[in-house]
Amino acid sequence: MSKQEIEWSFQKTKKGVIMRNQLILAAAAVPDLKVADVEYNTNQIVRLIKENSACGLIVFPELSVTGYTCADLFGSGLLLEKAQDGMIRIAEATQEYSGLTVIIGVPIRFENNLYNCAAVISEGNVCAIIPKQYIPSYSEFYEGRWFSSGKGLTERSVRIHGKDIPFGTDILAEDPESGAVLGIEICEDLWVPDKPSTHMCLAGANIIANLSASDELIGKEEYRRRLVEQQSGSCYCAYVYASAGVDESSTDLVFSGHTLIGQCGTVLQEDIFPLCPSVSTGAIDLVRIMYDRRHQNTFGNADENMYRRVNVNIRAFRNGEASISEMADILKELPVVLSRNPFVPSDDRERRDRCRKIMRIQANGLATRIRATGIYNLLIGISGGLDSTLALLVCAEARSMVPEIRIIAYTMPNKGNTSGLTYKNARELMRLIADEVHEVPISESVQMHLKDIGHSPDYQGEGDSAYENAQARMRTYILMDAANMINGLVVGTGDLSELALGWCTYNGDHMSMYAVNASVPKTLVKYICRTYAQFCSSEELRRVIFAICDTPITPELTPSHEGKISQMTEEKIGKYDLNDFLLYYTLRYGFEPSRSAAYAMCAYPELERKEIIKAAERFYIRFFTQQFKRSCLPDGPKVGSVSLSPRGDWRMPSDASMRLWLDDLKDVMR
């Protein structure tokens, strides 16, 4: 983080922790329109600006002041004068709306030519005018008949109503307060190979506005959407696209008013063939955009001297800074949809496809390791829980690729701790999948070990980590030695969530020779197992997997209650879905604790906010202090958008820096 970002993130006030708010409400607006009726069109644009003045940015379609389909009327000096007057009147109407920038389409005469332009308007001023670079004159387009290309026009200005206005294709509009840097394309500029927005983003633009008049043909809607997704993704930017509405339709062409707001490869908001006037709004998160750019260090920088920057006001929604509680309120007010399970797709079909792809990645990674080592004996410990079940299923899938594989499964019950339910499920699962099944009770070995170190053979209650960890280490000890005996490879079962929280025994159950689940979060493990069960041919195996999926998550390291599960993992480390939520935003977007907590408050409205703060404190304490357990992770396939690999892990902080992170969660709750 830069010094300025740190100051924003950790500044303290009487309201609690203050974070920088870089959420910008953007709108793609399609007004009612009458072709060549500048006064009517101007009134409609002003009306929509007034009704949506809470936005920081509003983008209107191409040539929205006159209409795109004026054809030879663009040769009329009267129409062009009226268009300039309309532009100035729109600018004057924005004077009372602080923090708002509006982009409208207008024809502009410059020297000997006419240009199809975008006017950048902010707080009463026309701040810049950007001409269209690529003028289509193919198929149904005749723009070359009236307009010239602005390509190569730089360092110029145009005088309108006594004021010199920056004019050219070398302009970016910047709000230093919110961090927004706006670049502008006009319709065809998006469809060409060398897109102007690519160069703008390399020079610092993080939002691209596209004023368009794209007519409808079969298949064009989908292609247009893919263009916006791809450009916002490859440029790590927000993309606000507004196309001409149905009022522009003629005997030859039909326009749809297609609006799209995309961010980093995802469409946040979309509408097509709306009843006009229509406004689509989306919340642009500059924090996420700038994190992606810093993280993807192949994202280069262009020579900033290629572009001039003009100052505008594109305010963050509500305030430029916010406490945790205020940020949560802002997120609720904005059109932001937050998944409670960001690792798990909500759509059933998409979730099934992802689960099957993840298992394919896991199995292929394991199969590749086996071919490379020439070790075909796979040893795995089966507890009857979700993680070892998934690991065993991955071994079975790898065996279908490498028939020489032999799966040797061990269950290692501890009398008095292992419940009847998990023991039964483990035995059934091994019988149905493994080539060899072994049962090695560990009670006597553990008790002997505890006796050797002077520990009572009985559980001493809460905090007796020696008793609990001795079991995990004994199981790993057995698996490793058995692997040595038969030239085998121990397959690890620990998942991403356990590794992040350190919910694993050092040099115990987190140790293996290849950890197939190391990049799979706990919230996804159950869905992968269920998906496998749904598609497997064995009804008996399906029944066992479903039974395991319905079993509470437990390490079973404390005495059971009359043979029933007594130790619940989530009672110790909190709800896994909330932990995974915090993990996702910490690793995927580099959020500081306060911002992650604010997002959680929005995603989990039924939880008390103080409860979320407490959960976040618990998560971050475990996340940092358990780093030593991740410093010697075994290899494993990378299957998700976040990773805790040894080469990409978070360093364990000093006491002072730890306090800084935890102080970031202090908040005066209202």
Active-site option among 82, 132, 195, 522: 132
The model's pLDDT over 231-273, given as tens digits with 9 standing for 90+, comes to: 999 999 999 999 999 999 887 889 999 999 999 999 999 999 9
Band (10; pLDDT cuts 50, 70, 90): very low
pLDDT of 652 higher than 70: no
Whether omega for the bond prior to residue 277 falls within 30 degrees of 0, making it cis, is yes
pLDDT single digits (tens) 212-232: 999 999 999 999 999 999 999
Cβ atoms within 10 A of the Cβ of 4, count? 10
pLDDT given for residue 626 in this prediction = 86
Radius of gyration over every alpha carbon of the chain, rounded to an integer in angstroms: 30
**According to the model, what pLDDT value does residue 629 have?**
81
Please report the pLDDT score of residue 220 as a whole number. 94
The residue annotated as part of the active site, out of 70, 117, 127, 187, is 187
Comparing 12-26, 69-83, 87-101, 437-451, which segment has the lowest mean pLDDT?
12-26
Active site residue 187: yes
Written as six digits, the tokens of 577 are 């879905």
Distance CA 315, CA 126 (A): 17
Residue 3: band (very low, low, confident or very high) from pLDDT cuts 50, 70, 90: very low
Across the range 465-469, mean pLDDT stands at 88
pLDDT category at 296 given cuts 50, 70, 90 is: confident
- Helix pair angle (386-401, 348-373), 10° resolution: 60
More reliable by pLDDT, 551 or 326: 326
Q: Lowest-confidence range among 190-194, 406-410, 503-507, 584-588?
A: 503-507
pLDDT at position 566 over 90: no
Give residue 2's pLDDT band: very low, low, confident or very high (50, 70, 90).
very low
Name the pTM for this structure: 0.89
Q: Which of 451, 454, 450 is nearest to 473 (CA)?
A: 450
Q: Give the amino acid at 82.
A: K
Q: Considering Cα of 208, then 212, then 218, then 221, what sign does the dihedral take?
A: positive
- What's the average model confidence in pLDDT over 443-466? 90
Q: Which of 77-81, 261-265, 301-305, 645-649 has the lowest mean pLDDT?
A: 645-649
Give yes or no for residue 569 having a pLDDT over 90: no
**β 436-439/406-411 pair status:** parallel
CA distance 238 to 14: 34
Task: Give pLDDT, residue 557.
Answer: 63
Active site residue: 55, 62, 127, 143, which one? Answer: 62
**In 3D, which of 443, 436, 448 has the Cα closest to residue 418?**
443
CA-based end-to-end distance of the chain:
29
Report which secondary-structure segment, H or E, holds 118. strand 113-122
Q: pLDDT value at position 551?
A: 86
- Report percent pLDDT > 70 for the chain: 91
The chain-wide mean pLDDT, for the chain, equals: 90
Cβ-contact 245, 257 below 8 angstroms = yes
pLDDT of res. 250: 80
**pLDDT over threshold 80, residue 576:** yes
Compute how many other C-beta atoms are within 10 angstroms of the C-beta atom of residue 145.
Answer: 12
Evaluate if residue 4 carries a pLDDT over 60.
no
The phi and psi torsions of 337 (rounded to 5 degrees) equal: -105, 115
